[in-house]
Amino acid sequence: MLDVQESTPCWVDVDLDAVGNNIASVKKFLHSGDVRLMAVVKSNAYGHGLLPVARTAMTRGADALGVTHPNEGIALREEGIDAPVLIFRPLLPGEEEDIVRFGLTASVSTVEQAELLSAAAQKFGLRTPVHLKIETGMGRTGFLPETLKAMANRLFSLPGLEWEGIYTHFASAAIDSSFTRRQFQNFCGIVQDFAIKGIEFPLRHVCNSAAALLYPEMHLDMVRAGTLIYGQLPAGVTSPALDLEDTWSFWTRVIHLQKARSGATIGYGRTHRVRRDTVIAVLPVGYRDGFGLDVQRRPAGLLDLGKVIAKIILGYLGHPVGSPYVSINGTLAPVVGRIGMELSCIDVGNIPDIKVGTPVLVQVRRTVVKDSVPCLYRCQVPSHSNSGPEMQT
């Protein structure tokens, strides 16, 4: 592990080489060189840092970037990144001028949005690329097929718009294959109807990470991958055709060691009772940092319910099951008691050489980590001006 100041209580370690290798692997998996890869860098690149990841993505084979909000696209442009950037969410009236000025690509879900973009493009004397968003089952954004039919003439007669792409988004690609196939068929039907009328879209795209892995026949012209490039398989997808590397880890330090006697309880609600004399290490992380945020699944059946009850009983007897573990000096230590807002406890009674300041690897929800947590970027392959480890806040 690389050096971080001893007084830094929490930090994120981002392995940009791993991100780059994952991007190269996904790109290779799309073997036919004609399938483009859009690296999805929304939500601060899933907590990895928008700009370093965007630069890495573009040097390791991505063809375009995808974000949710216009301000993320503008941030990319202001740092000199000139790759195509698709904005996923619908625009608010007033946002279209920035889209045009910064050369971003809007997703169009209504005629009104298209009209405002067209007006902005004309004002600046430019043609602005747009992607037509189709609603096929996600139920959030995009034209319903019947609305699209009625509006098509108006849409495609608007000046200043370049209809570069058409896409839809899957609601349950990892789990529900019949629904995903239905979404895909509806999408293809619409694309075909347009083709018959002589309207072609150079970039047709539907796949997120799960669909890209499970349905190669749906790759079309481009896939939009987030999860995979950050080294994870989509939940519910088990057969990895890819060799993915871990990209992200969250570290904290022991800030206090506390002896606890057999029979003492730890934390709010007194949910954990100590069974033998031990040592508790206190960590400066809590649910505010995304620690212990993983949602408890609703029991899916009687067997599941039985497991939940067994866990509660074992927990009551002082054997926490399924409670989070952290890694300290290469050993797993259980989190004991409820995770607090900003402090948590682990039992280190059996682990030697624990001191105040010892680093601890913890599992936290990546996308909720605060921007104020410093990020240590590691890269050997120089993809941009900085090479080697670098600490940024």
Ligand X SMILES: *Cc1c(COP(=O)(O)O)cnc(C)c1O
- Residue numbers in the known binding site for substrate are 140, 341
Q: Does 253 bind ligand X (CB under 6 A)?
A: no
Name residues whose C-beta falls within 8 Å of residue 47's C-beta, 6 or more positions apart in sequence.
12, 248, 366, 367, 368, 369
Q: CB of residue 334 vs ligand X: minimum separation in angstroms?
A: 30
Dist. CA 29–CA 209, nearest whole Å: 12
Using CB under 6 A, pick the residue from 105, 118, 208, 383 that binds ligand X.
208
Q: CB of residue 354 vs ligand X: minimum separation in angstroms?
A: 37
**Rule CB under 6 A: which of 64-93 touch ligand X?**
88
Handedness of CA 309, 310, 311, 312 (dihedral sign): positive
Using CB under 6 A, pick the residue from 118, 227, 249, 344 that binds ligand X.
227
What does DSSP assign to residue 289?
G
Does residue 167 carry a catalytic annotation?
Answer: no
**Sole window of 50-58, 154-162, 193-201, 224-232 interacting with ligand X (rule: CB under 6 A):** 224-232
Which residue of this chain has its Cβ atom nearest to ligand X in the complex? 226
Name residues whose C-beta falls within 8 Å of residue 333's C-beta, 6 or more positions apart in sequence.
281, 325, 326, 327, 346, 347, 348, 351
Q: Enumerate the H helices of the chain as residue ranges.
A: 16-29, 42-47, 50-59, 70-78, 96-101, 111-124, 145-157, 177-196, 209-214, 302-316
**Residue of 197, 259, 268, 370 marked catalytic:** 268
**Sole window of 222-230, 266-274, 282-290, 340-348 interacting with ligand X (rule: CB under 6 A):** 222-230
Does residue 42 carry a catalytic annotation?
Answer: yes
Q: Does 131 bind ligand X (CB under 6 A)?
A: no
**Rule CB under 6 A: which of 166-195 touch ligand X?**
169
Q: CB of residue 183 vs ligand X: minimum separation in angstroms?
A: 13
Range 248-272 burial, b when 16+ CB lie within 10 A, else e: bbbbbbbbeeeebeeeeebbeeeeb
- Chain residues binding ligand X by CB under 6 A are 40, 42, 88, 169, 208-210, 224-227, 234
Task: Give the residue numbers marked as catalytic.
Answer: 42, 268
